[in-house]
Amino acid sequence: MIITKLKRTIKSGAISFWRNGSVSLASVLILTVTLTVITMVLFSGVVLSSTLETIKNKVDIDIYFTKGASEEAILVFANDVKKNSDILDVKYISSEQAYANFRERHKDEEATIQALTEIGDNPLPASINVKAKDPNKYDAIVTFLKQKESAMSANDIIDKINYTEKNQQAIASLNRIINASNKLGVLIAIFFAIVSILITFNTIRLAIYIFREEVSVMRLVGASETYIRAPFVTVGVLYGIVSAIVTTIILLPITHYAGNWTEKLGTGINLFNYYQSNLLYIMLVLVVAGSALGAISSFLAIKKYLKV
């Protein structure tokens, strides 16, 4: 019995969807614009978050050692530093490895390589690279390292602790931007959702107006509100599903164009690749969101004609 009613409801909704072509087209266009804008807002959040992670990964502390420091003493110091609970990783780079890395980075710069060769001896010191678990802890780690350096006194093997606060400030600024953009994005999404419901509500109301007498007769003969509402809510759901499919197609060229652009900006993400890898999930979200907007609009629009 329930399956029969469900089939009848879906069939009635589908017929109404095709019969009122102009109304359906208008509703689908409105929902498509809404879903596209909401998705682009979400994409901007993904790009900003990826940019933040990229910057975080570039922030580190380099500790350079004196030329006379033995590898054994450096490794003992590195293992001691690694015990700090705020530190994620400590990487040792020998003088020879630093020299090889430098030559590889500047292999296309003939003047630099020639100058390095003329020096004869390896001028690059051994070092360790320190990464924090939390970028906000770098200031505390620098203080910790300087305290250890002071405690060494005459046995100091550290030549320089290299850390710039500019990266830290960039992370703090980007964090504020992301928090602000997320709040703004939620407001924009809510605004467009409300606008979409209002416009779709009025558009669907025009379609329902055509069937107002039929609805009144059904109400008079005892049809329940649920029975009358169901086909119209089904139409609203169909609007949402079609809008989600159209939005998914529209986003393909948009993300393809934006993909190389976001990658070149150093955000650490190619938006087109992200869209492709999450296509099914994004489409599911769009279908659910579109169906909900369409169903709510239809549910509200039919309310007036249920009063006898």
Q: Which of 37-41, 49-53, 72-76, 284-288 has the lowest mean pLDDT?
A: 49-53
Averaged confidence pLDDT in the chain: 77
Kindly indicate the confidence band of residue 267, based on its pLDDT and cuts at 50, 70 and 90.
confident
Query: What is the CB-side half-sphere exposure of residue 44 using CA atoms within 13 A?
Result: 18
pLDDT in tens, 80-96: 888 888 888 889 988 88
How many angstroms separate the CA atoms of 115 and 102, rounded? 12
pLDDT in tens, 116-134: 677 767 778 888 988 888 7
How many angstroms separate the CA atoms of 173 and 132, rounded? 19
Please state whether the predicted TM-score (pTM) of the whole model is above 0.85.
no
Six token digits for residue 80: 């001691």
pLDDT in tens, 134-181: 777 888 888 888 888 777 664 678 888 887 666 666 667 767 777 777
Question: Alpha helices, DSSP H only, in 83-136?
Answer: 95-105, 110-119
Q: What is the mean pLDDT of residues 9-14?
A: 59
**CB distance 306 to 224 below 8 Å:** no
Contacts of 127 (CB under 8 A, 6+ apart): 62, 63, 64, 65, 92, 93, 98
CATH code linked to domain 67-156: 3.30.70.3040
Tell me: pLDDT of 2 over 70.
no
Domain definitions of the chain by residue range = 2-55+170-306, 67-156
Cα→Cα distances 14→24, 69, 235, 237, Å: 11, 80, 7, 10
